Amino acid sequence: MCPIWPLHLIILYLLALCPLWVICQELPNLIANFSTSTVEVHMDEHDYVNLVVHAYGYGMQPGDTFSLSTANSHVATAEWNSTYQVTEAGNEWGGRVRVKGNFLGRTDLHVEANRGGQTYPVNNTLPIIVTRPVRVIDTVFTSSVATFVSLIFINFGCAMHWPTVKEVVKRPIGPLIGMVGQFLFMPLISFGLGFLIFPHWPEMRLGMFFTGVSPGGGASNIWTFILGGNLNLSLAMTSMSTLLSFAVMPAWLFSLGQVVFANAHIGVPYTRIATFVAGLLAPLAAGLALQRWTPKLASFMVRILKGFSTSLLLFIIVFAIITNLYIFELFTWEIIVAGMGIPWLGYVFGYALARILKQPHPDALAISIETGIQNTGISIFLLRYALDQPEADLTTVVPVSVAIMTPIPMTCIYIYQKISACIANRNQHKKIVEDLTPVSERVEPDVVPAADVEKRS
């Protein structure tokens, strides 16, 4: 047995700790204190923060320097706005840091001490939040779109055919199919796609789900009219969808919505939805009044409706892209697939269900468009209400992607219809020209007389 047993265990333990003790003595204890606990800066702007570094058991010497770095330089960068070199020996040193915001997101500022080619970490980091400033172009875009959409719905009121509306009310098969697609299929498919595409990103899943539970968008009526669908059915479904959203949206948000993002404090924007309903019904009523009391003006409004609707859609698409150019940096293949999946699957489901239930093509087209097109403005508002910045702006990339991908199938169908119409018109024109050609000018095929045939035989 060991003569110093059991003291040898204590001695071996102390010998094992000696190297660690030496290392700890060599490493300085540096702590950074910032003038603010968090710095929030807008994109492409900068802010200043004062920094004081305290040294414990580590005397600062002239010539020591401090360096700055951020965990994600794409989000923000930092640089010294003053000298970063120690000029006098002591246990405290201060400087001024300039923080520049590059893109939406969060990151941390780190400080390191440098002496004789060796680098020592400084404890404590500064959280940096980069957000998007409120711009004039955003206000201009929102106001102009609201004005033009109001004019469009005045035109819709002028074009509304009351006998057809009464038929829709008497036999509401089309609206019921649309409601099934809008408030059952779309929330469920957005919920499932969210977990499939973003399994580890609950904020993006929330963005998809908020888009799926939103009511139908006003653009559905414009596309229905342009593509030759049943406009009266589309208007009825949009109105019913918006009104039913008061009850259906809270039910989905407080059931599956809590599963998607349990910690989000979700508030349903009843005022926003009520404003949308008023903005839909008021100009529609004005158009009906024009149809009743000024039929000539209403007829003129109907004649310009198609061209005006097409111009409005192009304006919204182009202006929306220009206004939100910054968000394209966030686009990944997952975002693109999410943007295509929600509306395109809605189109297919709505049209297929309508045709299975024996609905005519114009009605099925209206149901398909109404199912696939969502009011992304409502979903963006919900996200900004439920989440803090910059997560609110970051997650809006999903409804923005949906808004961009939504018109692609409709545009392809419109181009196909135009090409088919041009080909049909050209063939019809040729037939008319042939029918109007005099008999004497027509080239008849060579006919061999019967006598010649007999001679040749």
Q: Cβ(31)–Cβ(123) under 8 Å? A: yes
Compute the distance between CA of residue 245 and CA of residue 82 in angstroms, rounded to an integer. 56
Walk me through the domains of the chain, giving residue ranges and CATH numbers: 28-131 (2.60.40.10), 136-420 (1.20.1530.20)
**Going along 125-214, which residue ranges are E strands?**
126-131
CA 191, 344, 174, 308 dihedral sign is positive
pTM of the model: 0.66
Looking at residue 41, what is its pLDDT?
92
| 435 CA to centre of own chain | 55
pLDDT in tens, 59-118: 778 888 888 999 989 899 999 887 778 877 778 888 899 999 998 888 999 998 888 778
Q: Cβ(50)–Cβ(35) under 8 Å? A: yes
Compute the distance between CA of residue 231 and CA of residue 263 in angstroms, rounded to an integer. 41
Extract the tokens encoding 204. 């993006």
- 39 or 175, higher pLDDT: 39
Mean pLDDT along residues 216-224:
77
Q: Which residues contact 195 (CB under 8 A, 6 or more apart)?
A: 205
Angle formed at CA 373 by CA 369 and CA 377, multiple of 5 degrees: 155
Long-range CB contact pairs, 159-165, < 8 A, 24+: 159/225, 159/231, 159/287, 159/301, 159/302, 159/305, 160/231, 160/232, 160/235, 160/284, 160/287, 160/288, 160/291, 161/232, 164/230, 164/232, 164/233, 165/232, 165/236
Task: For residue 181, count other CB atoms closer than 10 A to its CB.
Answer: 27
Residue 385 — very low, low, confident or very high, per pLDDT cuts 50/70/90?
low
Looking at residue 128, what is its pLDDT?
93
β-pairing verdict for 46-56 and 29-34 = antiparallel
pLDDT in tens, 123-140: 889 999 998 887 787 778
CA 111, 112, 113, 114 dihedral sign is negative
